[in-house]
Amino acid sequence: MGLLTEFSELFLPRRCAGCGRENVSLCTACLHLLGGIPRAMEPRYGTIPVVGIAEYTSHLSHMVVNFKDNGRRDILDPLALGLARSITAALEMTHCSSGPVLVIPAPSSQRARRRRGGSHTAALARRAAALAPELSLQVADVLRSHRRRDQVGLGARAREENAWGTQLIDAGQVNALGRTAIAEAHISILVDDFATTGATLAESARILASVQIRPAIAAVIGLGRGGTRFVSPFTV
């Protein structure tokens, strides 16, 4: 966190990270967005189903951007709890009742890691693992991105092409994780803050196969409308 952010956190009135309402970290309405019923989607360009707990609305988008780019670490727990709920639903959907579960955060570039002091998706995944110890989640932060242009404003086809060849495996992280941990995991899950067409998740799944990691499903917080097909509701 930068000095300026710390400074402003001391003196500026806190605003809701979702809607901007004053004097609250996250207002009740925005908090409710993270408590939705999990839903599964089959993404347009996906190879695996995606589970989310909220529709990717502008308020949810603000929360994610404020968390990852504006130093709003005060909403780490509500976001991570939302992700943990999504992972729980994903495990139910795949009938996986016990761990260890390998959780692979979506990649971010080295530049973004430096700017944000680490990967925000890995931070969310690690906090989700800590908040839900019964799930036996092991976070494997092995994906990196490069040459990734912003997906915002791109059509579905352009997003798919944009995702191709933009990710790589961090071999050092795979070695640190160990082959045994990979072999012993009962299931592997990709996680991200949100998904729309599934193109980024599909690319992750493609390159992870090279190190024998084969994600069965993905869990996100927000599901975008663009290019996703509704698969099944959960009744929980």
Residue 75 CB, nearest distance to Zn ion (Å)? 10
φ/ψ of 165, rounded to 5, equals 70, 20
- Helix 76-93 vs helix 120-131: angle between axes, to the nearest 10 degrees? 70
Q: Please identify, using beta-carbon distances, which residue of 14 and 21 lies nearer to Zn ion.
A: 21
For binding to Zn ion (CB under 5 A), which residues are involved?
Answer: 16, 18-19, 21, 27, 30
Q: Please identify, using beta-carbon distances, which residue of 62 and 68 lies nearer to Zn ion.
A: 62
Contacts of range 53-57, beta carbons closer than 8 Å, 24 or more positions apart: 53/82, 53/85, 53/86, 53/89, 53/221, 54/82, 54/221, 54/222, 54/223, 55/222, 55/223, 55/224, 55/225, 56/194, 56/196, 56/222, 56/223, 56/224, 56/225, 57/33, 57/222
Instruction: Please give the DSSP secondary-structure letter assigned to residue 135.
Output: G
Q: Please identify, using beta-carbon distances, which residue of 19 and 132 lies nearer to Zn ion.
A: 19
Residue 79 CB, nearest distance to Zn ion (Å)? 13
Question: Which residue type occupies 130?
Answer: A
Nearest to 106 by CA among 212, 210, 198, 231: 198
Q: Please identify, using beta-carbon distances, which residue of 34 and 182 lies nearer to Zn ion.
A: 34
Residue 236 CB, nearest distance to Zn ion (Å)? 25
Q: How far apart are CA 90 and CA 153, in angstroms?
A: 29
Residue 18 CB, nearest distance to Zn ion (Å)? 4
Residue 116 CB, nearest distance to Zn ion (Å)? 23
Q: Please identify, using beta-carbon distances, which residue of 14 and 206 lies nearer to Zn ion.
A: 14
Q: Please identify, using beta-carbon distances, which residue of 19 and 158 lies nearer to Zn ion.
A: 19
Residue 83 CB, nearest distance to Zn ion (Å)? 19
Q: How far apart are CA 103 and CA 96, in angstroms?
A: 14
φ/ψ of 94, rounded to 5, equals -95, 5
Q: How far apart are CA 221 and CA 20, in angstroms?
A: 20
